[in-house]
């Protein structure tokens, strides 16, 4: 994998459903993996910064895991709510050959229907 890739590109779920999406990134030159939530017309909001293989982080109903050896991270949302509707971005630090600039995926657009 040369770029940061996210899947699915978009998904629609019903309120109360649990969901997850995937971020794949180059496992070489890895420094950190960032997750952001970006709502329309707002600033991207930082969710997690993950650095260690096997790391798991949780913030309310949202959690994330990290596998640096195989180059993937999963983001989970438990009991989705309409306010969770947003684009979820992941970004790898190091993929661009430097240890300071983030390389972003194209995002997963989540729509939660009431």
Partner 1 sequence: GAGVSQSPSNKVTEKGKDVELRCDPISGHTALYWYRQSLGQGLEFLIYFQGNSAPDKSGLPSDRFSAERTGGSVSTLTIQRTQQEDSAVYLCASRFPGGHTDTQYFGPGTRLTVL
Backbone angles phi, psi at 69, to 5 degrees: -70, -40
- Position among 1, 44, 74, 78 found at the interface with partner 1 (CB under 8 A): 44
Stretch in the footprint of partner 1 (CB under 8 A) among 13-21, 41-49, 54-62, 75-83: 41-49
The radius of gyration of the chain's CA atoms, rounded to the nearest angstrom, is: 14
- Position among 26, 57, 63, 106 found at the interface with partner 1 (CB under 8 A): 106
Q: Give the C-alpha separation, 4 to 9, whole Å.
A: 13
**What is the spatial order of strands in the sheet that 62-67 belongs to?**
5-7, 19-24, 72-77, 62-67, 56-59
- Position among 42, 60, 83, 114 found at the interface with partner 1 (CB under 8 A): 42
Using CB under 8 A, list all residues that contact partner 1: 4, 31-32, 34, 36, 41-44, 46, 49, 51, 89, 91, 93, 96, 98-107
């Amino acid at each position: 994998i040369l770029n940061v890739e996210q899947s699915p590109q978009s998904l629609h779920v019903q309120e109360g459903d649990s969901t997850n999406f995937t971020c794949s990134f180059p496992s070489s030159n890895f420094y950190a993996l960032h997750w952001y939530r970006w709502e329309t017309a707002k600033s991207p909001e930082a969710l997690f910064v993950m650095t260690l293989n096997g790391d798991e982080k949780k913030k309310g109903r949202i959690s994330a895991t990290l596998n640096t050896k195989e180059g993937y991270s999963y983001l989970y949302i438990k009991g989705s709510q309409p306010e969770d509707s947003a684009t979820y971005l992941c970004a790898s630090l190091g993929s661009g050959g430097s240890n300071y600039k983030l390389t972003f995926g194209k995002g997963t657009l989540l729509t939660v229907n009431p």
